Structure 1
Amino acid sequence: MAAKQSGQGGAVIFETGVDFAVWSHHAGQIELCLFDDDDKEFTRLPMARDDDHVHRLFVDGLKQGARYGFRADGIYAPDNGLWFDPAKLLVDPYAKELDRPFRYDPLLGVFGEETRHLVPKAIVTRDTPVTPQKPLFKPGGFIYEVAVRPFTMLHPDVPEAQRGTVSALAHPAVVSHLKRIGVDAIELMPITAWIDERHLPPLGLHNGWGYNPIAFMALDPRLVPGGMAELRDTVARLHAEGIGVILDLVFNHTGESDRYGSTLSLRGLDNLCFYRHAQHRPGELINDTGTGNTVACDHPYIRQLIIDSLRHFVLGAGIDGFRFDLAPVLGRTANGFEGHGETLTAILADDVLADRVMIAEPWDIGPGGYQLGNFPAPFLEWNDRVRDDLRCYWRGDAYKTGPLATALAGSSDIFSRNGGAATRSVNFLAAHDGFTLKDLVSYSGKHNEANGEENRDGHNENHSWNNGVEGDTRYPDIIARRRDDVEALLSTLFVTRGSVMLTAGDEGGRSQRGNNNAYCQDNDITWVDWSTLDDELITHTAFVSALRKRFSVFSQATFLSGDGDVAWIAPSGQPMTVSDWETPDFATLGMVLSTTDNNSRKTVRIAVLFNRSEVAQTFSLPGPLPAAWRQLTATGEKKAAAQTTVPPRSVSFYLEN
């Protein structure tokens, strides 16, 4: 067996065999285990450690498709952070394909119990590189958040065998819907291999979101049965339609969880190096994620594993960019969060990744975990301040006119820090985590009883309202009010400066029956029922999305300053006064913007009028009389008078002739 180099990990195919490598500082011995097609382990081969703690082995004659895993022997002393157990088959952290999904079993966490029959085997694969094109998504565009399985499980036009998979996203009926509402990029919730949390199987529940990964590169066979070829083909088809693809990835924790969890990969290879531990207490795992463990993203091995994983998806499938779950963990060191730390800096400096779209969820639950505005440019950031301020404005909370305007103008209070001259905000009203947009206006409180935790899980403060009845109702007036509220919320979102994000199905009034933590509901609670979506709401979403594309002012990144780019007006048509801004229950606001009309290539003015009150409001449109304004609606344009009426609980749009 001749030695060949394959970096710090993985399996590399050569003409005469396969080179395996895996890193571990503390293991006494690592063995390579090979399996036949009947899942029988037919050999174990000791690996040799080099000076960099990479354990290597070249296997002559081995070919593509071989199935393998590792075993690591050494000291088993969890109180000292050491979890070596040769009875545990371990998945290669660099595995690029697995032969089956992960399934939780209590034996996975019991010392000395053999697990080869429980653990997926990695498959030796040959990379098929693509030439990545420039990302199709540009900051300021429209991101559509998609959970792959729920999005297509009930789609009537998608063949049953294809439903719930990545390939379904390229089906003509799905693409037609994405183009109808003007999606610039879909953001796929995790599609890498994950495992259920250990409390779910006894409840008959399964993790349907994927935020509990084991392998960072390997695609989950349940969602991507065709592997990288399926992802690559889907990305190519979406790109051909002008739609980018962003992957939501989880590097902050793994499904090995706390000390009572499973030993499946990183824990068994070198727990002490790969996870964060309390200072001077190596047996105590840090839990900055709320899921039991925190990955040590500042460790050189993990840093390189993250970089290599991102490169894998760009070079192997042409992915446009990435959204990072609980992203402060990427910048955490023993001293706290470092926005310009080595791992974040390395991601932005990599030659393959430098032009990709990078999006941070800028919070975790650890010390100093709220880092909105503190990620390095060009990172975009999920902006929960905009989410809450827009919700509270339309709920009718006092003193919300100013926060509304700040959100519309690009959140300069957040992103101008450290000399920032442009917004990096991803504005949203609802995401996978929390109420759907319809539930936001239909429930005053969460209803997570189906999750089996007696409604203790999920956020308690949702800034929601129910319009008079909690949950489903047959009262036509309440149904109408809820629909109006959703339409107003959508209108507001799409005229904010920054990128905008909508979760799949919210454009048509999808409900999760008040469940605001539906990660474990892989059923009709989360599956989008296309037959019940409100087509008028979808049409309205398409309308406001088209306005955003037509008028350049909405997608520009610079902050609105009031220096000729925007005028804030009261219903009188006059500029807002200090008194107006400070009125607690001020219910109407006008935003008049100078912009390029991309249809005519002319500079024009567009007026966006907000009325959150319960009665119609008369607005005087600005400009010399007779005013020459046209109202823009989903059904077309119509001439407007100098004084116009904005219906209650609505947003109206006017274009100056």
Structure 2
Amino acid sequence: MDNSRAHFAVEAGQWQTLGAHFDGEGTNFALFSAHAERVELCLYDPSGTTEIARLNLPEYTNEIWHGYVPGLKPGALYGYRVHGPYDPANGHRFNPHKLLLDPYARELVGPIKWSKAHFAYDLDSEDKDLSFNDMDSASGMPKCRVVDRNADGWGSIQRPAVGWSDTIVYETHVKGFTQLNPAIPQELRGTFEGLGHKAAVDYIKSLGITSVELLPIHEFPDDSHLLDKGLRNYWGYNTIGFFAPAQRYCGPQGLRGFREMVRAFHDAGIEVILDVVYNHTAEGNELGPSLSFKGIDNFSYYRTLPDNHRYYINDTGTGNTVNTSHPRVLQMVMDSLRYWAEDMQVDGFRFDLGTILGREPEGFDERGGYFDAMTQDPVLSRVKLIGEPWDIGPGGYQVGGFPPGWAEWNDKYRDSTREYWLNGDNCAPDFAARLLGSGDIYDLRGRRPWSSVNFITAHDGFTLNDLVSYDHKHNEANGEDGNDGHNHNLSHNYGVEGPTEDEGINALRERQKRNFLATLLLSHGTPMLLAGDEFGRSQMGNNNGYCQDSEISWLHWENLPESCEALRDFTRRLITLRKEQPLLRRENWRDGMVIDWFNVHGGVQKPEHWLDGNALAVRLQRDDLAEQPDVWSNILMLFNPVDADAAFTIPATGGNDWVLELLTSNPEQRGDMAKENQEFVLPARSLALFRKG
């Protein structure tokens, strides 16, 4: 060891740029820790198995430990050992026997090979985390790799820059979309390069999608309790490296493969949005492993109970909560986001449990440090920002509570739409608000209709097919005795649980799928489509596929019934209509649009009528669109969620007759004329869209 160490000198370096940075001649290392007493930089051979040097970072400036290693080039593998007090009662969990990952590492190499050594305390001790574990964890830890950030320049590139009101989001998974796709070469399936393959990009573009939203791609481990059951972390909501792409998705080109994927989507005019998890890490609670942050400066990186710093505040439900109130932790989040937005050229972010990021010690604050930092940042304030506006902590439900400039997942839209097409009691008023952009929530402070990200389904919960095929979740494969996943699904099987050969039930299910898709894409706000819903993908009733890196979660592309292709064509048609017609993608609450609600008798819907039944009619009109060729200035939508035909009297609005453009009970039917004050029978459980002739 001494001979190997002699090959490396270490100089003072600089503290201003955190992480490992190659300057063309050597590499600078800088690590934040406010409470450490000493930091050792451990260098490894190319295999990552043999330590070839251990160097003390020689300088400590403004709570940053730093040093410069001349001649150390990109590709070098490293990790840290951090010395300090092991004092859980006061929030400190230093243990130099644990090799730790650099929070700023751009690339990680190797898996976590779980053992007792990963824990800073003795798992067999009765004192649990108050005990101390001197087992060395290096052999079971990934290593960080020095990356030359300037090696792969983008060259000339044009971002799609899709306007919010034009945005159609497609939520998908790198592996799930590609693993079974026969159009993608076998060696690229499950990778960034596979998703960036021409066949994948062309398919998504053919749907009319503008923005692909990827489930987490930051480095995350497979939890030991899942591996023990033969399962894996599929979704990836358990980050351990906020700058490093997950190794499992890297193909032959490695890190460059991510950039090539982004480039391929950009060349097709499609944005890339990342689902990111800055609310917690994979280190869990006080009994969790020491992999990075916990051993570097636990008291700074995590929120601990004010009266007992041994324990963590658990507003995330995962064991720990990242402390974005600390300026260096906030800086790490911001630096990470800027890295992905600038170096990796992504176009936006969806923030898992986003309410956490707005939490200060006194609770959620939309003027907290994190939101203020984002609002003024010259890079991040210009990309798409989507919040999941809830967590499990006090006051954690914040739909409508995020600052101007943010869009939000609107679960009120999801639940209202599901309940409406189940013909729930007295649900028409809320459905009407959701259909027209949830102005009751978002029409304030200059926010726009696009602030509402509308969705019927997402990765968490039933797929669209399963929403109309199952009354209950079927999560047996998860190994949790059916105790995981949502119980309140607002779903229905229409007579048989799961797949059936009953033609009548299948026909009704297909109609309901069309109703949901039509509602989603005809609603104001930003539509989000779950990948595979366009052709009726099933998870066989599993509504919590977080651990199913298997055919349960992967998209199946072959041997699909004809109904799948018909549904896909219907989805494409809806997206085309939305793109062509401004009345269907409202940009501004103050655009002069006239909105009139009518009852089935053709009269104006008065307050006392809203609870008479759920069949509704709405007319949207913008006279300023009348002079544009092929653009509708006047449309009428009829909704009938009831299990019986509804005889609508076409309301008298003046002008030409109405022309049928879309009917979910019969997608092939269009062009029918409907005269004012005459009856139009809308079949049970269906939706109709008319335009003025």
Please report the TM-score for the alignment, with normalisation by the length of structure 1: 0.95
Q: Compare 410-419 and 114-123 and name the one that shifted more.
A: 410-419
Aligned partner (choices 406, 424, 442) of residue 433 of structure 2? 406
Distance 1:404 1:597, change over 3 A: farther
Tell me, yes or no, if the aligned pair for 1:228 and 1:316 is still in contact at 8 Å. Answer: no
- The DSSP-based 3-state class of the residue aligned with 1:514 is coil
Aligned partner (choices 181, 190, 199) of residue 173 of structure 1? 199
- The DSSP-based 3-state class of the residue aligned with 1:154 is coil
Alignment pair present for 1:428 and 2:455: yes
The residue number in structure 1 matching 2:692 is 656
Alignment pair present for 1:571 and 2:600: yes
Alignment pair present for 1:187 and 2:213: yes
The residue number in structure 2 matching 1:537 is 567
- The DSSP-based 3-state class of the residue aligned with 2:529 is strand
Aligned partner (choices 52, 66, 91) of residue 62 of structure 2? 52
d(CA) in 1 for partners of 2:483 and 2:670?
49
Note the 1:56-75 alignment, pairs <5 A: 56-75=66-85
Distance 1:497 1:602, change over 3 A: closer
TM superposition shift of 1:76: 1.5
Aligned partner (choices 26, 45, 53) of residue 17 of structure 1? 26
Aligned partner (choices 504, 509, 521) of residue 482 of structure 1? 509
Note the aligned Cα RMSD (angstroms).
Answer: 2.1
Distance 1:244 1:117, change over 3 A: same
- The DSSP-based 3-state class of the residue aligned with 2:672 is strand
- The DSSP-based 3-state class of the residue aligned with 1:427 is strand
Distance 1:419 1:64, change over 3 A: closer
One-letter code aligned to 2:686: S
Distance 1:636 1:124, change over 3 A: farther
Alignment pair present for 1:99 and 2:124: no
Aligned partner (choices 466, 487, 490) of residue 493 of structure 2? 466
One-letter code aligned to 1:195: P
TM superposition shift of 1:234: 1.3
Alignment pair present for 1:300 and 2:327: yes
d(CA) in 2 for partners of 1:266 and 1:228?
23
The residue number in structure 2 matching 1:197 is 223
TM superposition shift of 1:187: 0.3
The residue number in structure 1 matching 2:308 is 281
The residue number in structure 1 matching 2:266 is 239
d(CA) in 2 for partners of 1:191 and 1:576?
48
Q: Compare 243-252 and 623-632 and name the one that shifted more.
A: 623-632
The residue number in structure 1 matching 2:161 is 136
| CA-to-aligned-CA distance 1:449-493 (integer Å, 9 cap, x gap) | 111111111112111112122222222211111111111011111
| CA-to-aligned-CA distance 1:588-628 (integer Å, 9 cap, x gap) | 11121125489825452111211111222233333468952
TM superposition shift of 1:511: 1.1
Aligned partner (choices 650, 671, 688) of residue 638 of structure 1? 671
Aligned partner (choices 588, 595, 607) of residue 615 of structure 2? 588
d(CA) in 1 for partners of 2:260 and 2:447?
38
| CA-to-aligned-CA distance 1:477-525 (integer Å, 9 cap, x gap) | 1111111111101111111111010110111111111111110000011
Tell me, yes or no, if the aligned pair for 2:213 and 2:275 is still in contact at 8 Å. Answer: yes
The residue number in structure 1 matching 2:644 is 615
TM superposition shift of 1:536: 0.9
d(CA) in 2 for partners of 1:348 and 1:41?
44
d(CA) in 1 for partners of 2:614 and 2:443?
28
d(CA) in 2 for partners of 1:355 and 1:101?
35
Distance 1:422 1:481, change over 3 A: closer
- The DSSP-based 3-state class of the residue aligned with 1:619 is strand
One-letter code aligned to 1:108: H
Aligned partner (choices 92, 110, 117) of residue 82 of structure 1? 92
One-letter code aligned to 1:169: L
Tell me, yes or no, if the aligned pair for 1:97 and 1:227 is still in contact at 8 Å. Answer: no
Alignment pair present for 1:214 and 2:240: yes
Gaps of 5+ in 1: none
Percent sequence identity over matched residues? Answer: 39
- The DSSP-based 3-state class of the residue aligned with 2:396 is coil
Note the 1:365-444 alignment, pairs <5 A: 365-417=392-444, 420=447, 422=449, 424-444=451-471
- The DSSP-based 3-state class of the residue aligned with 1:497 is coil
TM superposition shift of 1:8: 4.8
One-letter code aligned to 2:224: R
TM superposition shift of 1:3: 2.8
One-letter code aligned to 2:148: R
- The DSSP-based 3-state class of the residue aligned with 1:261 is coil
Alignment pair present for 1:29 and 2:38: yes
TM superposition shift of 1:364: 0.4
Tell me, yes or no, if the aligned pair for 1:567 and 1:591 is still in contact at 8 Å. Answer: yes
The residue number in structure 2 matching 1:311 is 338
d(CA) in 1 for partners of 2:505 and 2:281?
43
Q: Compare 51-60 and 194-203 and name the one that shifted more.
A: 194-203
| CA-to-aligned-CA distance 1:235-292 (integer Å, 9 cap, x gap) | 1111111111101110000001112211111011001110000112100111111111
One-letter code aligned to 1:124: V
d(CA) in 2 for partners of 1:62 and 1:599?
63
Distance 1:418 1:105, change over 3 A: farther
Distance 1:132 1:7, change over 3 A: farther
Greater RCO between the two (CA within 8 Å, min separation 6)? Answer: 1
- The DSSP-based 3-state class of the residue aligned with 1:470 is coil
d(CA) in 2 for partners of 1:68 and 1:602?
60
Tell me, yes or no, if the aligned pair for 2:438 and 2:449 is still in contact at 8 Å. Answer: no
| CA-to-aligned-CA distance 1:395-432 (integer Å, 9 cap, x gap) | 11111111111001111221235575655110001111
TM superposition shift of 1:144: 0.3
Tell me, yes or no, if the aligned pair for 2:158 and 2:266 is still in contact at 8 Å. Answer: no
Tell me, yes or no, if the aligned pair for 1:9 and 1:93 is still in contact at 8 Å. Answer: no
Tell me, yes or no, if the aligned pair for 2:632 and 2:691 is still in contact at 8 Å. Answer: no
d(CA) in 2 for partners of 1:645 and 1:160?
51
d(CA) in 2 for partners of 1:442 and 1:362?
29
Tell me, yes or no, if the aligned pair for 2:197 and 2:261 is still in contact at 8 Å. Answer: no
One-letter code aligned to 2:162: F
Aligned partner (choices 120, 123, 135) of residue 142 of structure 2? 120
Distance 1:127 1:440, change over 3 A: same
Tell me, yes or no, if the aligned pair for 2:85 and 2:94 is still in contact at 8 Å. Answer: yes
TM superposition shift of 1:48: 2.6
One-letter code aligned to 1:114: D
Distance 1:589 1:256, change over 3 A: same
Distance 1:598 1:307, change over 3 A: farther
Distance 1:442 1:311, change over 3 A: same
Note the 1:508-523 alignment, pairs <5 A: 508-523=535-550
- The DSSP-based 3-state class of the residue aligned with 1:435 is coil
Distance 1:105 1:159, change over 3 A: farther
Note the 1:306-385 alignment, pairs <5 A: 306-385=333-412
d(CA) in 2 for partners of 1:62 and 1:473?
63
- The DSSP-based 3-state class of the residue aligned with 2:164 is coil
d(CA) in 2 for partners of 1:344 and 1:441?
39
Tell me, yes or no, if the aligned pair for 2:27 and 2:69 is still in contact at 8 Å. Answer: yes
d(CA) in 1 for partners of 2:284 and 2:341?
28
